[in-house]
Amino acid sequence: MRILLVEDHVELSHWVAKALRDAHLTVETAGNGADADALLHTQEYALVILDLTLPKMDGLDVLKRMRARGSKAPVLILTARGGLNERVQGLNLGADDYLPKPFELAELEARVKALLRRSQGNEAVVLQCGALSFDTVSRQFFYDAASLSLTPREYAVLEALMTRPGQAVSKDKLFDEVFALDDDANLDAIEIYIHRLRKKLDSVSVGKVAIVTLRGIGYLLEAR
């Protein structure tokens, strides 16, 4: 479940992205409208947080183009342009919510989670892989009924595997879902997080759930 944050203010973008990652959400960032439009044309996101005043392409044009392509991803407009006409225009173009700057981080997180719940039909869906379960609404992992303590990156790797039951996930795909475009990381970092996850799963209960390496293919989450 990836979020695209489109914000040209570098410090604000880093601050918001960090807060959302700490809330166990996978966040990618774009610093201008053209980059955001290109990503939205080729990638799927569970939610888009969109500033309006952007270099290279205005946020409303980004929104208009993504809706014209048929994207139904929820869009939260986050901007200092808080006039009534622009709010109405954004909502008419297909935005789902509008939060003016300055804003409280707690409110942003609450709105993001509400939009994600709404897009999932407001139903609590629990994914299961043997002793491991994932509540998609509370966004918590449980192993043998105990809550798993995970870092944001470990969480993102495990979510990517958990949401594809019985399906191998390539290292490239995991990398795309775990690391934002501006992260200084390479493909081998995925192996580090896979190793850490295996240790954490074994520390709770050895052998009930395993992350299997399929050489040349990727990784598979498997109940035993």
Pairing of strands 47-50, 209-214: unpaired
Examine the domain organization and report whether 100 and 6 are in the same domain. Answer: yes
Question: Collapsing DSSP states into helix, strand and coil, what is residue 121?
Answer: coil
Could you tell me which residues come within 8 angstroms of residue 152 by beta carbon, excluding any fewer than 6 positions away?
Answer: 21, 22, 24
pTM of the model: 0.61
How many residues belong to the chain? 224
Give the Cα separation of 80 and 72 in Å (integer): 24
- Do 69 and 177 share a domain, yes or no? no
Question: What pLDDT, on a 0 to 100 scale, did the predictor assign at position 90?
Answer: 72
Same domain, 149 and 217: yes
1 or 196, which is more confident?
196
What CATH number has the domain bearing residue 72? 3.40.50.2300
pLDDT classification of 35: cutoffs 50, 70, 90: very high
Task: Please determine, for residue 181, whether its predicted confidence score (pLDDT) is greater than 70.
Answer: no
Indicate the pLDDT class of residue 183, thresholds 50, 70 and 90.
low
Same domain for 47 and 25: yes
Residue 196 has a pLDDT of 92
Indicate if the pLDDT at residue 6 is higher than 90: yes
pLDDT in tens, 62-80: 999 999 988 888 999 887 7
Average pLDDT of the residues in 20-26: 82
> Does residue 35 sit in the same domain as residue 114?
yes
Nearest to 4 by CA among 41, 39, 55, 54: 39
Which residues form the domain of 98?
2-119
Whether residues 144 and 47 share a domain: the answer is no
Is residue 134 domain-shared with residue 100, that is, in the same domain? no
Q: Dihedral of CA 103/45/125/76: which sign?
A: positive
Element housing 189 (H / E): helix 189-204
159: CATH: 1.10.10.10
Q: Are 95 and 75 contacting, i.e. CB atoms less than 8 angstroms apart?
A: yes
Q: How many distinct structural domains can be found in the chain?
A: 2
Question: 130 and 114 share a domain?
Answer: no
Q: Which of 119, 137, 162 is the last residue of a domain?
A: 119
Same domain, yes or no: 7 and 110: yes
What is the distance between the alpha carbons of residues 153 and 90, in angstroms, rounded to a whole number? 33
**Does residue 78 sit in the same domain as residue 133?**
no
CA-to-CA distance for 90 and 104, rounded, in angstroms? 21
pLDDT (average), residues 31-46: 90
Among 119, 143, 174, the domain boundary falls at 119
Instruction: Using the predicted structure, report yes or no on whether residue 179 has a pLDDT greater than 80.
Output: no
**C-alpha span between 10 and 82 (Å, rounded):** 21
Which strand (E) or helix (H) includes residue 26? strand 26-30
Instruction: Report pLDDT for 86.
Output: 67
pLDDT bucket at 129, cuts 50 / 70 / 90: confident
Domain boundary among 119, 137, 154: 119
Q: What is the mean pLDDT of residues 141-157?
A: 84
Q: For residue 100, what are the contacts with CB-CB under 8 A and spacing of at least 6? A: 79, 80, 82
135 and 57 together in one domain: no
Q: Are 12 and 105 contained in the same domain?
A: yes
> What tokens does 167 get?
């399906």
Of the pLDDT bands very low, low, confident and very high (cuts 50, 70, 90), residue 106 is confident
Q: What is the pLDDT of residue 195?
A: 93
Portion of the chain with pLDDT greater than 70, in percent = 89
- Report the DSSP pairing between strands 126-129 and 132-135: antiparallel
Confidence grade of residue 128 (pLDDT, cut at 50, 70, 90): confident
